[in-house]
Chain A
């Protein structure tokens, strides 16, 4: 049962570098999400997707980009990393049923920008 898989788990970036956080799910879920969680804070939505080829901004999209070329994959791209992007990033997915659905999270990616 792979569920939602994120890589890498830990990464240290220098200011101005770029990187991609990978996320894949094997549950055939249409909805996928990227959240960030700063220490002691709640989850903030960065981007989400309701299906392949469709993405939309969440609450805090600045400094990030996403793509959704397949149902399974939803990578998050950080361009020109800044210290403010130091955070834990969670990818998640769920079915598109309106009620009774469950959102499944990956184990998280710990990113530090120095």
Chain B
């Protein structure tokens, strides 16, 4: 069974805090990984892809650990506008092109 597990939260943090989310996946054949952001009553939107070497985009850093089968997202200097649900997405590839979504981790950044 292909599964993607996330801590649902909520994570309640003050502005300026650093917060980290983890996501574990069950299938070692997974081929690509993403973090999506979903605002309340909106569609999910790509935040960043996750590469084996790790990658950074401004205040956001994503890392992949294939041996332990988890990916992480680190947000530094949290802003009020970072409040959202963060979805971990795993692409198992193959002819079916199957994408598995985690249930999401809710982040609330407070003043």
Q: Is B21 an interface residue (CB 8 A)?
A: no
Binary interface encoding of chain B residues 42-84 relative to chain A, with 1 for a CB under 8 A from any of its CBs, else 0: 1111100100000000000000000000000000000000000
Q: Is A84 an interface residue (CB 8 A)?
A: no
Q: Is B20 an interface residue (CB 8 A)?
A: no
B6, closest chain A residue (CB): A42
Known: A48-B97, A100-B32, A102-B34. A43 touches B91 (CB 8 A): no
Interface size on A (CB < 8 Å)?
23
Binary interface encoding of chain A residues 28-47 relative to chain B, with 1 for a CB under 8 A from any of its CBs, else 0: 00010101000001110000
Contact B44 A102 (CB under 8 A): no
Contact A105 B45 (CB under 8 A): yes
**List of A residues within 8 angstroms of B89 by Cβ:** 103
**List of A residues within 8 angstroms of B96 by Cβ:** 48, 50, 56
Which of A56-114 touch B at CB < 8 Å? Answer: 56, 88, 90, 94, 96, 98-103, 105-108
Q: Which of B41, B45, B99, B103 lies in contact with A42, CB distance below 8 A?
A: B103
B99, closest chain A residue (CB): A103
CA distance A71 to B97 in the complex (A): 16
